Amino acid sequence: MNYQIDLQNREQLSLNSSELSDIKELYQQRNDSLDAFKQASLPSRKVEHWKYNDMTFLKEGEFELATQTRPMPTSYPAIAIEDAIELHFNNGVLANDLAALDLPQGLRIRKLQECSADKISLLAKMNQVNEKNMLLNLNQALCDNIIVIETLDNVQLNQMIYIKHLTSDLQNNAIASSQIFVMVGRSSELSILEQFESELTNAITLSLQQSFFQLSENSHVKHYRLNVEKDSAHQVGQVKATLEKDAVFDSFYLGLGSKLNRTDIDILHQGNNAHVELNGIYLPANEQRIDYHSNIEHQVPHCTSNEIFRGIIADKSSAVFNGKIHIFKDAQKSDAFLNNKNLLLTNQAEVNTKPELEIYADDVKCAHGATVAQLDDKSVYYLQTRGINKKRARKMLSIAFIQELVNKVKQDAVRKHLVSLLDDYMSHID
């Protein structure tokens, strides 16, 4: 099955014939997404949501969906998480034999095509047309690799679900495409870590990945999304979560590496007293570009959100942070906090940050702020007068800038992994 996508002649495209496209509950949604993809402009500086990123490489030639599942050797250290339930996506395709997984009681992991019609309809709803990011619409129209992770009600899952996404050994102009769909039952708890890795390549490749979370009443999800791709990777992804009454979604992001990493985070508060915690660190270096667009919708009253992102921008790299909080008219007593701080390490480093509040209710508490700064010369000098050389002093101050966020990672194994990634990063920057 070779599905060609010529982005310059998009109007020619029609849905590919695949197992998933043939499911009637999905057909309409996939067709709508494809139509939206055809009609939208390609990501360029003329499009508001892509203002600061260059995706012109997409215009070169025809793209093809990757179908390779051969496991590739990788240079990344494994994460030492005890008893983790591991899933591997190689170039978007699931490499595990799901039947062979030894899963605890109350947890189910299946391919979407094995799910019941009502589950499929639910996912189709999550996959509604995206107004801002046409590449996500492309993924929604074409994605054949959809895995559903599901817990029953009242399940406290102690084992972490660790999902490794690897792109490697791809042909030029290949697109890796996948989705995961996590449905958490009432009063259930789940933790999940996604790590994105890639091999360095001369080929132009694009990875499209979306993770959907549906949190039922009083459920708790801890989520980590670590992007540690090599400098050649283009990754466009999305995390989208809907929260019912009393649900808590605690979601942590790391942007490290890749040629371009664009991640959209969409949080929908749909039940009273739901809470979301979004924390993120982005550390572009060399000529990397990292772009986080978050959007938190307080659709109902009494919900809270707390969002802190910090970025250190080195060399000639650039970062974009766009954080929007949208309080609906009926969402009284909403409490939302958003803060973004950036540290520029060189004169060529660039950051564009835009916190946005859109408030239609009149009894809410909202705070937002953003700063951009350079390392404080006085602090560097102070450390130097105590015998610490300049390079080390700059590193200590850089780590200090993100320490607060590292401390927020409470799971020891994940924090250790994070610290080792950061140490490695710090040893490569000036």
Partner 1 sequence: MLKINNLHAKVEDKDILKGLSLEIKPGEVHAIMGPNGSGKSTFGYVLSGREGYEVTDGEIEFEGKNILELEADERAKEGLFLAFQYPVEIPGVSNMEFLKASIDATREYQGKEPLDAVSFMKLAREKCQQVNLDQNFLKRGVNEGFSGGEKKRNEIMQMMLLEPKLCILDETDSGLDIDALQVVADGVNACRDGNRSFIVVTHYQRLLDYIVPDYVHVLSNGKIIKSGGKELALELEEKGYSWIDKL
Residues that bind partner 1 (CB under 8 A): 376-379, 381-390, 392-393, 396-397, 399-401, 403-404
Least Cβ distance, residue 375 to partner 1 (angstroms)? 11
- Residue 399 or 413: the one with the smaller Cβ distance to partner 1 is 399
In Å, what is the CA distance from 56 to each residue of 41, 176, 201, 335? 12, 18, 18, 40
Backbone angles phi, psi at 310, to 5 degrees: -125, 140
> What CA–CA distance (Å, rounded) separates 316 from 327?
36
The three-point CA angle 40-41-44 to 5° equals 140
Helix or strand (DSSP H, E) at 134: helix 134-142
Contact 410, 428 (CB under 8 A): no
Q: Which two tokens stand for residue 239?
A: 């995390």
In 3D space, the residue among 155, 213, 206 whose CA is nearest the CA of residue 179 turns out to be 213
Least Cβ distance, residue 394 to partner 1 (angstroms)? 12
**How large is the C-alpha radius of gyration of the chain?**
21
- Residue 42 or 375: the one with the smaller Cβ distance to partner 1 is 375
- Residue 213 or 401: the one with the smaller Cβ distance to partner 1 is 401
- Residue 39 or 403: the one with the smaller Cβ distance to partner 1 is 403
C-alpha atoms less than 13 angstroms from C-alpha of 299 in its C-beta half-sphere: 12
Least Cβ distance, residue 388 to partner 1 (angstroms)? 5
> What CA–CA distance (Å, rounded) separates 314 from 292?
17
In 3D space, the residue among 429, 423, 426, 430 whose CA is nearest the CA of residue 77 turns out to be 423
Write down the residue that tokens 């102690």 correspond to: 158
For residue 181, the cross-strand partners are 148, 212
Least Cβ distance, residue 421 to partner 1 (angstroms)? 18
Least Cβ distance, residue 402 to partner 1 (angstroms)? 8
Residue type, 37: F
For residue 365, the cross-strand partners are 335
Q: Which two tokens stand for residue 408?
A: 């927020």
Least Cβ distance, residue 281 to partner 1 (angstroms)? 13
Least Cβ distance, residue 95 to partner 1 (angstroms)? 40
Least Cβ distance, residue 266 to partner 1 (angstroms)? 31
Least Cβ distance, residue 351 to partner 1 (angstroms)? 19
Residue type, 275: H
Which residues neighbour 426 within 8 Å (Cβ) at sequence distance 6 or greater? Answer: 395, 398, 399
CA 42 to chain centre: 21
In 3D space, the residue among 208, 295, 196, 212 whose CA is nearest the CA of residue 254 turns out to be 196
- Residue 59 or 392: the one with the smaller Cβ distance to partner 1 is 392
In 3D space, the residue among 224, 182, 174 whose CA is nearest the CA of residue 198 turns out to be 174
- Residue 70 or 392: the one with the smaller Cβ distance to partner 1 is 392
Least Cβ distance, residue 380 to partner 1 (angstroms)? 9
Which residues neighbour 343 within 8 Å (Cβ) at sequence distance 6 or greater? Answer: 310, 311, 312, 313, 373, 374, 375, 398, 401
